[in-house]
Amino acid sequence: MGTKVDAQINHSHPYVAAVQRMNELSFLYSRMPLLWISPVWYALGYGNEYDHNLQLVTNFTRQVIADRRRKLHHQHLTETIPNLLDTKTESLKKKAAFLDLLLGVEDEGKLTDEDIREEVDTFM
């Protein structure tokens, strides 16, 4: 996505910790039918913890998308026409990140911000 979390090295990153805890809570939820009752799920504190972690994950992805959008917009403004036409330019040889492709489709009006966020969540 053009962003490094270093999940294999930095296990204490808030995004990594939130995803791990959400997985644990999802497993617990699926294994204990009593937790399927919403008041019980929230009374035991699992619901609030899950919601908090979900908010962390969602906000992180939105921030990644916003940062990348800003960077692409700035890059687009600073590129000149000769650079765009030169096929030997290093920036054109570089492979685009998946998020860059999604943002390009967004410019065409085919994806909403929420669609992009869902796709980014899938791959992050």
Query: What pLDDT, on the 0 to 100 scale, is given for residue 101?
Result: 73
Torsion of CA 100, 105, 106, 110, to 10 degrees: -160
Relative orientation angle of helices 46-78 and 113-123, to the nearest 10 degrees:
110
What does pTM read for this prediction? 0.67
Q: What is the DSSP letter of 94?
A: S
Condensed to tens digits (0 to 9), the pLDDT of residues 58-99 reads 999 889 888 888 887 767 655 544 454 455 555 544 566 777
How high does pLDDT run on average in the chain? 78
The amino acid occupying position 78 is T
Query: What pLDDT, on the 0 to 100 scale, is given for residue 36?
Result: 97
Condensed to tens digits (0 to 9), the pLDDT of residues 15-26 reads 989 999 999 999
Q: Provide mean pLDDT across the span 114-123.
A: 76
